[in-house]
């Protein structure tokens, strides 16, 4: 009997695995390809995110991105393309983290939230009463144009049409009325 030598199969190239994935859509094929570069992906994520757990999450999220993007992209050099995809993913994570505002948890404030809300409601109600009182002290034309502009959301042209006043007079009445209200409100503080 002749001994049979075990013939080792040559490792598949990135290009062959990429083509096989595009043809079959098989996640097993993509996983074999991706596993070759998980150290590169993780290292890149760690470089940008500077957090091990966030980097591990990013490695998983990037795999999901590959599932979506590879079928529609023409990739010549998978390793280079994957590096750029990873870098962009990390930069997007960093940008979105900057937009999120972190607030320190303060139990004392949390326990009194209902009272704080009640205080702000009461203050607002007092401000409305002051405003109503100050509105009553405005000259009649100012009061009318202020009500039309702010309370009924009418533009200058609509007020001109409704009142028959000139456009410049309407503008002047609203500006003067707003200034007079501000002075009155400050006086009653």
Tell me, yes or no, whether 90 and 148 share the same domain. no
pLDDT digits (tens, 9 = 90+) for 30-85: 999 999 999 999 999 999 999 999 999 999 999 999 989 998 888 899 999 999 99
Domain with residue 55: its CATH number is: 1.10.1740.10
Tell me, yes or no, whether 91 and 135 share the same domain. no
Distance, CA of 71 to CA of 50 (rounded, Å)? 31
Please check whether residue 116 lies inside any domain of the structure.
no
Tell me, yes or no, whether 18 and 80 share the same domain. yes
DSSP notation for the chain: -PPPPPPPPPPPPHHHHHHHHHHH--HHHHHHHHHTTHHHHHHHHHHHH--HHHHHHHHHHHHHHHHHHGGGS--S-HHHHHHHHHHHHHHHHHHHHHHSPP----HHHHHTHHHHHHHHHHHHHHHHHHHHHHHHTS-HHHHHHHIIIIIS---HHHHHHHH---HHHHHHHHHHHHHHHHHHHHHT-
Name the domain count of the chain: 2
Res 88: pLDDT:
93
Res 130: pLDDT:
82
Res 108: pLDDT:
55
Cβ count near 117 (within 10 Å): 10
Distance, CA of 113 to CA of 119 (rounded, Å)? 10
Tell me, yes or no, whether 134 and 83 share the same domain. no
Please check whether residue 6 lies inside any domain of the structure.
no
Tell me, yes or no, whether 91 and 45 share the same domain. yes
Q: Taking a C-beta distance cutoff of 8 angstroms, is the pair 42, 59 a contact? A: yes
Positions of the chain with pLDDT under 70: 1-11, 99-121
């Amino acid at each position: 009997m002749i001994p049979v030598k075990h013939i080792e199969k040559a490792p598949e190239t990135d290009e062959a695995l990429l083509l096989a994935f595009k043809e079959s859509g098989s996640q097993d094929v993509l996983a074999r390809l991706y596993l070759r570069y998980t150290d590169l992906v993780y290292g890149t994520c760690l470089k940008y995110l500077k957090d091990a757990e966030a980097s591990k999450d990013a490695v998983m999220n990037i795999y999901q991105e590959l599932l979506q993007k590879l079928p529609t992209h023409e990739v010549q050099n998978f390793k280079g393309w994957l590096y750029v995809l990873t870098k962009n993913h990390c930069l997007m994570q960093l940008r979105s983290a900057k937009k999120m505002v972190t607030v320190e948890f303060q139990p004392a404030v949390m326990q009194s939230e209902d009272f704080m809300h009640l205080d702000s409601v009461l203050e607002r109600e007092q401000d409305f009463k002051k405003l109503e009182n100050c509105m009553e002290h405005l000259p009649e034309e100012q009061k009318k144009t202020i009500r039309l502009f702010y309370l009924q959301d009418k533009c200058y042209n609509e007020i001109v049409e409704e009142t028959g006043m000139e456009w410049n007079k309407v503008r002047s009445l609203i500006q003067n009325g707003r200034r007079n209200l501000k002075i009155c409100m400050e006086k009653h503080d």
